[in-house]
């Protein structure tokens, strides 16, 4: 397994368009996370899944954002009616266990850089 994979790596879209990103976690990892990172800031939590169940969503995740993990494997993050403020790096991570702790660290993908023009 080559790690967490995200597609696309870069996306440029016009304001108002919808975009969808895909994340393939490390095989057998039960947890999957989405984070967003803007310039000069650390990653900000958006949401996470335990298998196919979405267990928590941040207040940052407005109604225009939706995430799915239909079969407990890959996940998609959709942003509807994109705004310029949505421009950021969107990071996906996965971890093997039920809780984040020793030996169950989160492993990140390379991210999808979104630019809204």
- Binding residues (CB under 8 A) for another protein: these are 4, 6, 33, 35, 40-45, 48, 55-56, 91, 93, 99-102, 105-111
CB of 50 or CB of 80, closer to another protein: 50
CB of 34 or CB of 82, closer to another protein: 34
- Closest distance between another protein and the C-beta of residue 42, in Å? 3
Instruction: Using alpha carbons only, give the angle 95, 38, 76 rounded to the nearest 5 degrees.
Output: 45
- Closest distance between another protein and the C-beta of residue 81, in Å? 26
- Closest distance between another protein and the C-beta of residue 76, in Å? 18
CB of 67 or CB of 91, closer to another protein: 91
91 is written with which tokens?
């990071």
The C-alpha atoms of residue 24 and residue 94 are separated, in whole angstroms, by 9
Instruction: Using alpha carbons only, give the angle 4, 66, 34 rounded to the nearest 5 degrees.
Output: 30
40 is written with which tokens?
């000069």
Q: DSSP 3-state assignment of 84?
A: helix
């Amino acid at each position: 397994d080559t790690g967490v994979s995200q597609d696309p790596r870069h996306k440029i879209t016009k304001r108002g368009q919808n975009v969808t990103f895909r994340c393939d976690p490390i095989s057998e990892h039960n947890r999957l996370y989405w984070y967003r990172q803007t310039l000069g800031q650390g990653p900000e939590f958006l949401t996470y899944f335990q298998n196919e169940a979405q267990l928590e969503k941040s207040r940052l995740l407005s109604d225009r954002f939706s995430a799915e993990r239909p079969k407990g494997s890959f996940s998609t993050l959709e942003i509807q009616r994109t705004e310029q403020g949505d421009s950021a790096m969107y990071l996906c991570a996965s971890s093997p266990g039920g809780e984040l702790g020793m030996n169950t660290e989160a492993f990140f993908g390379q991210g999808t850089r979104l630019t809204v023009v």
